[in-house]
Structure 1
Amino acid sequence: MPIPDHYRRGACPSAGNPMASGDGLLSRIRLIDGRLTPSGLRRVAALADEHGSGLIEITGRGNLQLRGLAEEAEAELTATLVDAGLAVEPAASEAVRNIQCSAAADLDPQALIDPAPQARALDQRLISDDRFRALPPKFRFVFNGGGLTHLADADGDIRADAVSTPEGTRYCIGLAGTSATAQSLGNCKPSQVVDVLVELALIFLEERQRLITPARRMRQLIDASGSSPFAGLRDLSRPGGVTADHPPAPEPGRTRAGTVLGVALGCLGTNSARLIAEQLEAHNSTLRITPQRCLIMPHGPVTNPGLAEAPELIHTPGDPRLSAIACPGMPGCASGSTATRRDALDWAEQVPELFDGRSLVHVSGCPKGCAHPGRAPVVLVAREGRYDLVLDDRALPEEEGHRIASGLLPEEVPDTLRALVSTAALNSPGDEPLVQSLVRVAQASRNRR
């Protein structure tokens, strides 16, 4: 179903271009290669304490956010970020730096290539060419090197996915989607990929202006005009090759790329951030940040006692909080009518059979679904202080039949979720994963309607 204008997530905040929220201004720090030095982490923590809420938020794109900023402090914060190399000026250039990159591909022997050098080179091209300031706020580039921090499932307007070919590693260039759904244009050498992506972005900028209403995303342009303007680039060869390894996202604990720490609801306290910086410095390491709101420390296991006791850090797989994704809700967001983060943590503790560390439960303060725009097996979306339960859909359901309960008080939700899990278990053949059982429950509910 079409998204009503008042439910669109139109803003894309950045340094120098903050967004107003319920608790002040919100500014985003883009990590082009998914990496942050200890000194950078200390600087961000200091800014969060001095000007913000005292929390560092990790977004679903692997970036950082500071919220609760006073209007008069935002200019100083931006200047500090620019001085630290964490943002650029002017704000119009900072706004177009929407690049995602496999954060730990250089640490992972199963990744095909480390795309960080290409991501940083593309970033410089976007910054240095004023034409790219016309890119829409959410237009996104994706570099997927494969391995544990692959981005096969990340949606991109223009993407480069590593593939293995008889001629060596190449990037498969695609438009509008994930690695599975994007329209493939062909392969190119790593040395050519930045030029190719730049040319495709310039074609997009030219073609979008031919429409009565300029396209905001590549998918809109292709749906309206087709993909023929993007065909035939001289640096592209025929698509093909073996795709990079795309294993499940790393869980907390030791992995081949380092030690993974989960961060409950993506909210990292500044004290924990400083302790992480201290341990990184001791090992001369750089922090990696994933879209799953996890931190990867390249060195050995966590040895700092303070980190072991930090309440928001998750050290073991299966922790119920790993299943929960929640927006700030009330009072942090003006659109929220419930305390979503508090509710999500309460429900994770009360219903561990659903919050099993693997199944995804999205708790949204309103139908915009900012914390997780995509589909989720279970969604609890707030309306006027109560929750609706949606299965296998978005916070604003694409099919109204996916909304199986409405108007639940927060305290009524745990029993409803337990009944849902019981129904799924009763109808599950053998050892079917819970997520698949929940999807089948949703399908059965639709059929009954």
Structure 2
Amino acid sequence: MKISLEDLKKFRENFESSEKNVVAMNAASNCAINTAALNRVHAQSMNRVFSNEIKTRGVTNQKKSGRCWMFAGLNLLRESVADKLNLENFELSQSYQMFYDKLEKANYFLESIIETGKEDLHGRLVMWILSKPVEDGGQWGMFVDLVEKYGVLPKELMDESFQTSDSATMNRLLDTKLREDAMILRKMIEKNESEKHIQSKKVEMLDEIYRILSINMGLPPQTFDYEYKDKDGNFHRIENITPVEFYKEFGFPLEDTVSVINCPTPDKQFMKTYTVQYLGNVIGGKGITYLNLDLKDFKEMAKKAILDGNLTWFTADVGKMMEREKGILDTEIYDFEKLYGTKFIFDKSSRLDYGDSLMTHAMVFTGIDINSEGKITKWKVENSWGDQIGDKGYFIMSDSWFDQYVYEIVVDKKYLSKEMKKALKEKPVILPPWDPMGSVAFAR
């Protein structure tokens, strides 16, 4: 049925019958909705003292790019490198990782196009693949595959370029070029050209992508010398080392980590492993594997890791109930229900099922607050949005926000129970590309 004039009259009468509606209208129509709904008392109650904190070497800044997953991963590794080299301040090159991530994603995209070459061009699957050839976002498994293949590099040896810090135009041009390449490859498949010819053509396409990336970012070093003074003022020189050798000597083994999710939707069992079709970057890498756990086990694992002094990489839906400038993540930070006189009834499961939430951002847990009764009250978070927001770039997360919006954590396999380790060895269930667990961390 259509909206009738009688309906409109009734809507207006209902609105005007409440003075609260008028006050709310005057507030929300004259400032940002978040400002109008900010729970001031609650915001002021969020103190930044934690019972357990892990000291880090400060926040980084991904600027206008969607590389949060990469920044968060490198921030874990840099602590190991800096400790072993006895450095006060240190960063690993995000540009170096970005260069090879884009190149590998281009190859992954083209291989996906070849694999689906006989699928309907306008079907959901091919359209999904074509929607984001080389986006900035990523997942933990993609980070692991990159580092294990290409290693890591001190930042000063491949610093940020304009394009790495503001990637939108570069990404748009790369996407266009790759979609053109997809068109060419599909036409070759339609003509039943040989696999050898198709692969040869793909290599030519990747050569073009390499050239575009090099022009935008510079050439990544293959070997390097690294000279530095440690925090005691002592001079050191590391000579003729490759990025892979540097990672193996000064990093920690990423192969010992596991990606654990809390996805309580009816279609996903706990104590089961999952992977996602067409989600990845490095062909021939380990790819994406998640172990799905209930919230209690999921949270306990993060707690144990932090109490043991281990920084913990995680993903969440950062746009929900976030006060960006103050650096607060809390389910009660905004009184949207009071502002609008309505109820928002989604829980974590239904929010995922109905497309209202997904993993959007990767950060690092650096602390936890546990009260005298043993209850977790809040979490300390290292973000990668620079030091001008929050507490010098660090955010505070309420435990209730963790329950609702944290979806993935990465921990050492030693924290898994026997049952979890057994589940991890099982063949993972393959999820379709558009599953919410197929999302990548990209927020900026």
The TM-score with structure 1 as length reference comes to 0.27
Report which of the two has the higher share of strand.
1
Query: Structure 2-normalised TM-score?
Result: 0.27
